Amino acid sequence: MTTQKVIRVDVRGEICPYPMLRAVEAMTKAQGEEGIEVLTDHPPALLTIPNEAVKRGWDVSIQRLGPSEWKIALTKSRVAEGGQR
């Protein structure tokens, strides 16, 4: 099992649009094989973060942790990165 360094971004309690901005910051800073886990309780972020992630070549999966709490796991997509911004 490959151990992957995971960057945790906890944006619970943050107001719009900071959950998405923080996630994008983390994606921009991530290097190599790092994965990102975003913890959020902000419903709009469940659409905006995956949207921005896929644009940047990341795969997304969302797991519900509890009443109005979600973990958005981002991993760099294995698909060819040619031409992706």
Partner 1 sequence: MGSATGTVPRQALGLARRGLLAGLAITGAIVVFFLFSGHPKWQLLWAFGLLFGYILQRGRFCFASAFRDLFLMGESRVMRGVLAGMAVATPLFTVAMVLLHPTPLPGRYPPEVNVLPLGPHTFLAGVLFALGMTLAGGCISGTLYRIGEGYTASLVALLGVFIGFVLLAFTWGFWWQTSVAYAPLVWFPQPLGYTGGMLLTLGLLGLALLGLLWWEHRHRTPRGGVWAVPSEGEGGQGTPPTLGGQVRTLLGAVFLRPWPVVVAGAALGFLNGVLLLLHRPWGVTGPLYGWMEAVWGRLGVFLVPLPPLMGLDQFGGACNPALAAPRVFGLAHNDMVVLGVVAGSFTAAAIAGEFKVRVPRQRRRYLQSLVGGVLMGYGAALALGCTLGAFFSAIPSLALNGWLFAFGLLGGSFLGARILRKLG
| By the rule CB under 8 A, 69 interacts with partner 1 | yes
Among 17, 22, 12, 14, CA closest to 68:
12
- CA 4 – CA 17 distance, rounded (Å): 28
Decide if residue 64 touches partner 1 (CB under 8 A).
yes
Residue 77 makes contact with partner 1 by CB under 8 A: no
In total, the chain counts a number of residues equal to: 85
Interface with partner 1, residue 80, by CB under 8 A: no
Which member of 66, 78, 80, 82 binds partner 1 (CB under 8 A)?
A: 66
Using alpha carbons, select from 68, 9, 26 the residue that is nearest to residue 43: 68
User: Do 42 and 68 contact (CB within 8 A), yes or no?
Assistant: no
Q: Does the footprint of partner 1 cover residue 39 (CB under 8 A)?
A: no
Binding site for partner 1 (CB under 8 A): 12-17, 20-21, 41-44, 46-48, 50-52, 54-55, 60-64, 66-70, 85
